[in-house]
Amino acid sequence: MQEILKKIQKDSVTIDDLEYLISTDKYNDEILSLADEIRGKYVGNEVHIRAIIEFSNYCKMDCLYCGLRAPNKNLKRYRMTPEEIYKRAQLIAQKNIKTIVLQSGEDPFYTTDILKDLIIKIKSLDIAITLSIGERDFEEYKIWKETGADRYLMRHETADEKLYNYLHPHDTFENRKLHLLKLKEIGYEIGAGCMVGLPGQGPRELAKDLMFLKELDSDMIGIGPFIPNPDTPLKNEKGGDLKTTLKIIALARILIPTANIPATTAMGSLHPFGRQMALKAGANVIMPNLTPNPYRPHYTLYPNKICLFEKDTSCIECVKGMITSLNRIIGKNYGSRVKVS
Ligand code: 5AD
Ligand code: FES
């Protein structure tokens, strides 16, 4: 075990080593505490806050796991106007948060120019912009980067090619990888990541996810449990468990020590202290929900999503309280990936 952990840190780890660590529970405590130690050493005690606005739940895709999938008729669809999005960005900037995440389903309603104009306006608020709007044209990625967007989140979901292609009837893993590489080449900080507990995903497949994140040298890594959604074809599947998801987060930290890793909302939805546990197992980012009402409850990727509160700015205070209760520090800067020389 010690040998494998040393190998991970020397970059000579194999997929078989990772598969072994994932398949046994013998070393879980050691893995989690090593991840926490490495997190402290490489990215410190700051936890970066990224305010997320889920600005449209329209989606043209039909990913088997996701509540926003186009064929789902049990969802009240909404689109925020650029003006509404900008107003929300202003509020976020006023609260001294330094990153805004603009997320939506794959919604072509927001054209190259609509988003370009919005990016220009939001950038004037002195805030980093992360886009999370799915696959678009390479030319658009370029234009938005030149306009001022800083980062792009697009999880790889699963690095098992067969499983990816099954879960995404209109996409292929090969294509998803191409998009991530293109985003990186254009100069974005990129965020990949996966769900844990997908049907047909075992230790081998999860080891592939970790190898893929390492190969990509992903700047940001979003990992959360798969939570079956009753309005999708995967409604009767089992879903991910806390223990395995925490271990994958921890292994991601050990493998890619300087990555920014969020304690995801799905972790918090699986367990009341899921995000706190993630922050103690390698995570260093948290993403409070700033989607305004009345839209917020309609961004239902999965059931029992947390934070569907009446007062729709309360997540900011909530995550700040969480950070201080863990004796960590609230990040004050953009919180871009740290560079080690
Ligand atoms: N359970 C957990 N996570 C999900 N996502 C989508 N549907 C689900 C689900 N049922 C995740 C995907 C996507 C992110 C925005 O939400 O990984 O990239
Ligand atoms: Fe949303 Fe705690 S982060 S209520």
Assessment of whether the complete model's pTM goes beyond 0.95:
yes
Cβ(155) to ligand 1 under 6 A? yes
Q: What's the first-to-final CA gap in the chain, in angstroms?
A: 28
Which pLDDT tens digit goes with each residue over 277-293? 999 999 999 999 999 99
Q: In the chain, what are the domains? A: 17-330 (3.20.20.70)
- The rounded Å distance from CA 63 to ligand 1 centre is 9
Ligand having the closest approach to the CA of 310 = 2
Which pLDDT tens digit goes with each residue over 186-229? 999 999 999 999 999 999 999 999 999 999 999 999 999 999 99
Helix 15-23 to helix 242-255 angle, to the nearest 10 degrees? 150
pLDDT of residue 310: 87
Average pLDDT over residues 147-173: 98
Radius of gyration of the chain, Cα coordinates, nearest whole angstrom: 19
Phi, psi dihedral angles at 308 (to 5 degrees): -85, 55
pLDDT of residue 85: 98
Confidence of residue 10 (pLDDT cuts 50, 70, 90): confident
Please answer whether residues 254 and 212 qualify as being in contact, where contact means their C-beta atoms are separated by less than 8 angstroms: no
For residue 81, what are its two tokens? Answer: 């106007």
Residue 293 CB partners (closer than 8 Å, separation 6+): 310, 312
Cβ(323) to ligand 1 under 6 A? no
Residue 66 pLDDT greater than 90, yes or no = yes
Average pLDDT over residues 51-73: 98
Which pLDDT tens digit goes with each residue over 84-114? 999 999 999 999 999 999 999 999 999 999 9
Q: What is the ipTM of this complex?
A: 0.97
Residue 254 pLDDT greater than 90, yes or no = yes
**Whole-angstrom Cα distance, residue 17 to residue 22?**
9
pLDDT of residue 341: 62
- The rounded Å distance from CA 226 to ligand 1 centre is 7
Please answer whether residues 265 and 307 qualify as being in contact, where contact means their C-beta atoms are separated by less than 8 angstroms: yes
**Whole-angstrom Cα distance, residue 146 to residue 337?**
19
Residue 183 CB partners (closer than 8 Å, separation 6+): 141, 152, 154, 190
